[in-house]
Amino acid sequence: MNKELLKEHLRVVPDYPVKGIMFFDVTTLFKNSECLKEIVDGICDIYKDKGITKVAGIESRGFISAAAVAHRLGAGFVPIRKPGKLPAETVSESYAKEYGTDSIELHTDSINEDDVVLIHDDILATGGTASAAVSLVQKFHPKAVFVNFIIDITDVPRTRPIPAEVPVSALLQLSEN
């Protein structure tokens, strides 16, 4: 995988969405076809032999590569969304973020006990969203859960770490400093 290509095309926006946050903008990776291919190929290489049956993409940037990965792995795609965005019955999980609180939801028929689920999002920072997504998916009692990110920001304190028994991978490990 060409990590340098991804790093070259990544936009970093200081003080967004609030002062003191370095925002890693992956939309610059998505608009570049070579970078998007590297992302999807890199994730698929990691999970091609894991028996993934569902890829759960976290709103909203997680949807982009998660859907492409699901297609390539021959798996289904399920969206993890903010409250009120899914039209049928949902299950939810609340969590704290570095600049506020939020909740996420899945449809009650999204995942079953026979599934092997890959949760995907663009960035791992404090771990709040990812940890909540793991808790949410585990409510369905799937066979296995994996978590993947495009970027792991390594120098951000994990205020809500992902459970140790859940395998986590990231294509890039970067620092805010």
H/E segment holding residue 91: strand 90-97
Residue 82 one-letter amino acid: K
Place of tokens 């949902």: 90
Which listed residue (59, 98, 160, 176) is catalytic? 98
Spatial distance between the Cα atoms of 64 and 82, rounded to a whole number of angstroms: 16
First-to-last C-alpha distance (Å) of the chain = 24
Residues 172 and 67: their CA atoms lie apart, in Å, by 20
| Residue 158: active-site member | no
State the Rg of the chain over Cα: 15
User: Treating both helix axes as pointing N-terminal to C-terminal, what angle do 61-73 and 33-47 enclose, rounded to 10 degrees?
Assistant: 60
Give the separation between CA 160 and CA 96, rounded to whole angstroms. Answer: 8
Spatial separation of the C-alpha atoms in residues 104 and 129, rounded to whole Å: 8
98 in catalytic set: yes
Active-site residue identified among 4, 8, 59, 61: 61
Q: Catalogue the active-site residues.
A: 61, 98
